[in-house]
Amino acid sequence: MIKRVIRSALALIMLALNVASCSGGGVSEDTNVEKTENTVTEAAVTEEAGGDPLTSGILKVDGEGYIVDGTGNRVELRGVNLGGWLLQETWMCAVEGSECNLDSIRLLRSRGFTEEQVKTLFMTYAENYITESDIKYLAKLGVNCVRLPFWYRNFMDDSLEFYSEDDAENPGFILVDRLVSWAGKYGIYVILDMHGCPGGQSTDHTTGQIGKNELYVKEENLDAMERLWVRIAGHYKESAAVCAYDVMNEPMNNNSSYEYGWPAGSDEAVKRTSAVYDRMIKAIREADGEHIITVEGIWSTDALPDPSKMGWTNMMYQLHLYDTSKEMIDYRIGELTGVRRKYKVAVYVGEFNNGDEQQLYAYDQYVKKHLSFTMWTYKVSKDYLGNWGILYAKVDSPDLKNDSYAAILRKWGTPLRSEEFEINRTVENWIKKFTAK
């Protein structure tokens, strides 16, 4: 099946549709959702939040394809993606002059910035973009799950070696550990999503690089990905706050305009994707036999195999739904509920934005069909981009081609903290309504 329009294009289309009003909402009148937005104050974000600490054990998939906790109670994951935090997407993040994360790193180096300066800049960005206050705020809204997109460069260097063999000194584990600790404290589960794999699992900039699709054809990339997943699984194998490992985000290995790519939906494309999944699942299971593993059909479950034939257990199958018609939303939901009945896997909408007119309908159907879901995304820092985030702000984005080190450091500091952002009340109300227990 031909891939849908990527998120960046969708964002631009939706922005064009909404920019005339700049209302902060832009939904049809029959939704009864507020169209106003208020400034996020420190008090609003740090107010005492709901959510009890997670004490009921590691989540699993039962024999009927539903998620249960350690006491046997069903759990439906309802929440948001923390997109743009550990892997910047330029259409929605505070960065100018660069197309993707790897470009940014190379650009800064080419200007004479030291490795320590580059590291400091990206750590400063990360330490301000998401803080404990954000997790408290999400818990207050009723969120019980966040999906965390990361890329291999959070943990590994150019040579595909870990920055440190001591996890306590590895910047990737430092940041993820911090989130997992906050999440567990406020009753929120974390899905660890490898959004950018070594070599790139697609040619899209969301992998952290552009025009590469080399994961499938170079052993050094597959080996690095396997080592990273083994390290992550071993590190979090006893964590009840981590609920699932998302093996690789949107493995669209089908852009034939680049060196490596196969026709969309072809046997070759599906075979190569399934082979990576199989290798990583087996490696993860060696390190951690308890946690749920999720794999993405991306746009259709037809791309995913019968797990019993692969020897995969405790699985969650995932789609990303950017459909904006009721017919297609219903069709994709039918695919998910169908594989749950057929394969007894849990099912999950890992990302979605179904447009202003159909978003309430989509949420309602996700809840009625007992689907887990995480919307894209929590916050955007490129001004108002329609209903793509709960929080938004027009941050003074650094120009990586021209700004000084001090200027970039300042712009990636406190201006990125959520108390400096505004709340899109439309999206906030959707979250409050449909994450309610």
Would you say residue 207 has pLDDT above 90?
yes
Strand partners, 318: 296, 348
User: Please, what is the average pLDDT of the chain?
Assistant: 89
Q: What is the pLDDT of residues 368-407, one digit of tens each?
A: 999 999 999 999 999 888 999 999 999 999 999 999 999 9
pLDDT for 24 equals 33
Q: Tell me what the mean pLDDT of segment 63-74 comes to.
A: 96
pLDDT for 258 equals 74
Task: Check if the beta carbon of residue 19 is closer than 8 Å to that of residue 383.
Answer: no
337: cis peptide before it, omega within 30°? no
Helix axes 7-18, 355-368, angle to 10 degrees: 120
Would you say residue 12 has pLDDT above 90?
no
Task: Check if the beta carbon of residue 36 is closer than 8 Å to that of residue 425.
Answer: yes
Within 10 Å of residue 4's Cβ, how many Cβ atoms? 16
**Within 13 Å of residue 253, how many CA atoms lie on the same side as its CB?**
27
Domains of the chain (ranges; CATH) run 7-434 (3.20.20.80)
State how beta strands 379-380 and 37-39 pair. Answer: unpaired
Structure tokens, 110: 């080419």
CA nearest 193: which of 245, 271, 137, 133? 245
Q: Which amino acid is at 81?
A: N
pLDDT above 90 as % of the chain: 81
Would you say residue 3 has pLDDT above 60?
no
Decide: pTM greater than 0.85. Answer: yes
Point out the least confidently predicted range of 11-15, 357-361, 384-388, 397-401. Answer: 11-15
Question: What number of residues does the chain have?
Answer: 437
Strand partners, 244: 191, 292
377: cis peptide before it, omega within 30°? yes
Task: Check if the beta carbon of residue 82 is closer than 8 Å to that of residue 148.
Answer: yes
DSSP state of 386: S
Enumerate residues 6+ apart whose C-beta is below 8 A from 390: 80, 141, 378, 379, 423, 424, 427, 428, 431
Structure tokens, 429: 């109300």
Cα dihedral 115, 119, 120, 124 in deg (nearest 10) = 160
Enumerate residues 6+ apart whose C-beta is below 8 A from 343: 65, 306, 307, 308, 315, 317
**What is the rounded distance in angstroms from the CA atom of residue 287 to the CA atom of residue 200?**
24
Beta sheet of 422-424, edge-to-edge order? 37-39, 422-424, 391-392, 379-380
DSSP 290-359: SSEEEEEEET-GGGS--HHHHT--SEEEEEEE---SHHHHHHHHHHHHHHHHHH--EEEEEEE--HHHHH
Task: Check if the beta carbon of residue 188 is closer than 8 Å to that of residue 139.
Answer: yes
pLDDT for 52 equals 76
- The whole-angstrom distance between residue 397's C-alpha and the CA centroid of its chain comes to 22
**Within 13 Å of residue 434, how many CA atoms lie on the same side as its CB?**
28
Would you say residue 54 has pLDDT above 50?
yes
Q: Which amino acid is at 199?
A: G
Q: What is the pLDDT of residues 124-136, one digit of tens each?
A: 999 999 999 999 9
Enumerate residues 6+ apart whose C-beta is below 8 A from 57: 69, 70, 71, 240
Would you say residue 230 has pLDDT above 50?
yes
Token pair 């039918």: residue: 334
CA nearest 130: which of 148, 144, 118? 148
pLDDT for 2 equals 33
Strand partners, 61: 67
DSSP state of 156: B
